[in-house]
């Protein structure tokens, strides 16, 4: 076959139609299967085995390839998926992924992705509205990690000595953040070149929230050491235990010291949509910037992240340098030329995923979802509290619950308890009926669940507890 005929074949509309229907059928079958709690959540195989599998030429064509990828993936749509904080995408939102995948508009400049650019502004405005920003604005960007870095770059750009972007600096800048914060905040600081001295870790209280009473002395010490404190990052919530920082307390401190206040609401920012739980985000309206992942608690595929600013102009300061070939020297701040304000040049049409859900089901779906998951976590915590063989790390703020198994016949040696829980978690993963993860708090290991799946019920969770009891007995005999 010559080259031309291959290309012609690859773009044939009828083949696409047929393969598209096939894939949708495969995925709909997966949904039906998992929602009926059939099959496993995980089916772990050693990496070398899968490498060998894919290097062999046993897989032919896209249908076979898709099916094998489905089979070799963790099934987030299975109600017994209670692992990492990735969303369980609403199927119609995954279709919008296919839409943007085929249209493939770059969205850096308005000409490329006009409709999706207007949609992005509407969705950004909805977020700002629910945060309580008046005159706010922002952008969508590729993930919470990048959004936090971008927010901190904006903070740096609006610092009183704004010249770092053009002149660089040898001054020691720093930010303050809870020791429980997501590691990407630490990473952002190091990317900005401030080193380990650029991050001041604020201790947490018994509830794993930032001890805001410690801010004042840490700030004074940093200033005395010649550091320039630029911002405080609040976690809403922190990843490990799902505990929200006291955003008002941080806002008060930032106001007094004239610091930038950034809220990392990657996981729990969508509480703004819950009438019952929006109090957890209270104080975010006083923050200068807020990050919210839609691919965690807003039912979209990854990566879909909103970076919101209280003053919309701040988002135009982040990357001051001009790419003249894109903007031809235009002076005014055009909301619709997005690459000016985002790290990405070519950007995926990601806000369409959120807007698709809103158009299909109304914005109330986010209230229903967040409220349901946060309620379920509280009910689960109560069951754990009432049992005499489980220990809760902390009563949950969000849909993340950390706990461990301490059977009556177990010694009280903390190392033994951690070791037992580590083994239990490994056994569960290998067997694949549930998927949960683990977290280390001080020296203790806890089992950790994120209740992401809207079909997970209390009965599912009680089954996990029973399974843990069985595994424990097997481990100890």
Ligand X SMILES: *Cc1c(COP(=O)(O)O)cnc(C)c1O
Binding site for ligand X (CB under 6 A): 85, 143-145, 182, 184, 235, 239, 264, 266-267, 293, 303, 305
| Long-range Cβ contact pairs of 213-217 (< 8 A, separation 24 or more) | 215/176, 215/250, 215/253, 216/253
* Closest distance of CB 448 from ligand X, Å: 12
* Cα 123 to the center of its chain, rounded Å: 18
Q: Quick one: 137 or 265, whose CB is closer to ligand X?
A: 265
Least distance in Å: CB of 280 to ligand X?
Answer: 13
Are 307 and 287 in contact, with CB atoms under 8 Å apart? Answer: no
Q: Which is nearer to ligand X, 231 or 406 (CB)?
A: 231
Q: How far is the CB of 284 from ligand X (least distance, A)?
A: 13
Closer of 233 and 464 to ligand X (Cβ): 233
Least distance between ligand X and beta carbon 458 (Å):
25
CB 115 within 8 A of CB 100: no
Both tokens of 439, joined, read 């977290």
For residues 304 and 356, which CB has a smaller minimum distance to ligand X in the complex? 304
Q: What is the CA radius of gyration of the chain?
A: 24
Q: For 5, which DSSP code?
A: H
Rounded to whole angstroms, what are the CA distances from 199 to 12, 178, 235?
Answer: 54, 10, 15
CB of 144 to ligand X, least distance (A): 2
| CB of 182 or CB of 404, closer to ligand X | 182
Neighbouring residues of 45: CB distance < 8 A, sequence distance ≥ 6: 72
CB of 291 to ligand X, least distance (A): 7
Q: How far is the CB of 116 from ligand X (least distance, A)?
A: 20
Angle of the 414-431 helix axis to the 458-476 helix axis, nearest 10: 120
Long-range contacts of 23-32 (CB under 8 A, 24+ apart): 23/62, 23/63, 23/66, 26/63, 26/66, 26/67, 26/70, 27/70, 27/91, 27/94, 28/91, 30/70, 30/75, 30/77, 31/77, 31/91
- Contact by Cβ (8 Å): 475, 418: no
Please state the closest distance from residue 250 (CB atom) to ligand X, in A. 15
Identify which of residues 158 and 305 has a Cβ nearer to ligand X in the complex.
305
Q: Cβ-closest residue to ligand X? A: 144
Q: Which is nearer to ligand X, 113 or 144 (CB)?
A: 144
Cβ count near 222 (within 10 Å): 18
- Of 30 and 401, which has the nearer Cβ to ligand X? 401
In 23-136, where do the E strands start and end? none
In the numeric block, the tokens 């040049």 are attached to 345
């Amino acid at each position: 076959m010559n080259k031309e005929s291959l290309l012609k074949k690859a773009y044939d509309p009828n083949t696409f139609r047929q393969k598209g229907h096939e894939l949708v059928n495969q995925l709909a079958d997966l949904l039906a299967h998992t929602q009926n709690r059939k099959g496993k959540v995980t089916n772990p195989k050693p990496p070398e085995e899968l490498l060998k599998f894919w290097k062999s030429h046993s897989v032919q064509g896209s249908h076979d390839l898709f099916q094998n990828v489905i089979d070799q993936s963790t099934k987030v749509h299975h109600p017994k998926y209670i692992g990492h904080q990735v969303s369980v995408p609403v199927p119609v939102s995954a279709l919008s992924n296919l839409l943007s995948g085929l249209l493939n508009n770059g969205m850096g400049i308005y000409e490329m992705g006009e409709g999706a650019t207007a949609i992005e502004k509407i969705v950004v405005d909805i977020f700002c509205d629910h945060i309580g920003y008046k005159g706010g604005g922002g952008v969508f960007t590729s993930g919470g990690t990048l959004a936090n870095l971008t927010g901190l770059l904006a903070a740096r750009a609006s610092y009183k000595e704004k010249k770092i972007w053009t002149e660089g600096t040898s001054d020691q800048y720093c930010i303050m953040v809870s020791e429980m914060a997501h590691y990407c905040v630490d990473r952002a600081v190091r990317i900005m070149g401030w080193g380990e001295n650029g991050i001041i870790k604020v201790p947490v209280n018994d509830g794993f929230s930032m001890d805001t009473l410690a801010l004042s002395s840490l700030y004074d010490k940093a200033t005395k050491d010649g550091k320039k404190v630029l911002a405080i990052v609040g976690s809403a919530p922190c990843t490990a235990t799902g505990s929200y920082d006291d955003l008002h307390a941080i806002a008060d401190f930032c106001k007094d010291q004239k610091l930038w206040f950034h809220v990392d609401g990657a996981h729990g920012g969508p509480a703004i949509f819950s009438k019952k739980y929006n109090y957890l985000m209270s104080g975010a309206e006083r923050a200068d910037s807020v990050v919210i992942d839609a691919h965690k608690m807003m039912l979209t595929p990854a990566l879909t992240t909103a970076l919101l600013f209280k003053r919309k102009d701040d988002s135009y300061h982040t990357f001051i340098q001009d790419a003249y070939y894109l903007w031809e020297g235009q002076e005014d701040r055009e909301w619709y030329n997005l690459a000016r304000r985002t790290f990405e040049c070519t950007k995926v049409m990601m806000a369409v995923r959120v807007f698709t859900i809103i158009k299909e089901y109304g914005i109330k779906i986010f209230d229903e979802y967040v409220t349901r998951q946060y309620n379920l976590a509280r009910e689960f915590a109560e069951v754990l509290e009432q049992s005499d063989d489980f220990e809760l790390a902390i009563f949950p703020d969000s849909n993340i619950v950390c706990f461990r198994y301490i059977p009556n016949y177990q010694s009280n040696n903390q190392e033994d308890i951690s070791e037992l829980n580590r083994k239990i978690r490994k056994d569960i993963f290998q067997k694949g009926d549930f998927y949960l993860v683990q977290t280390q708090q001080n020296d203790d290991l806890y089992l950790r669940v994120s209740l992401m799946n809207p079909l997970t019920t209390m009965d599912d969770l009680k089954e996990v507890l029973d399974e843990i009891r069985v595994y424990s007995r097997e481990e100890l005999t």
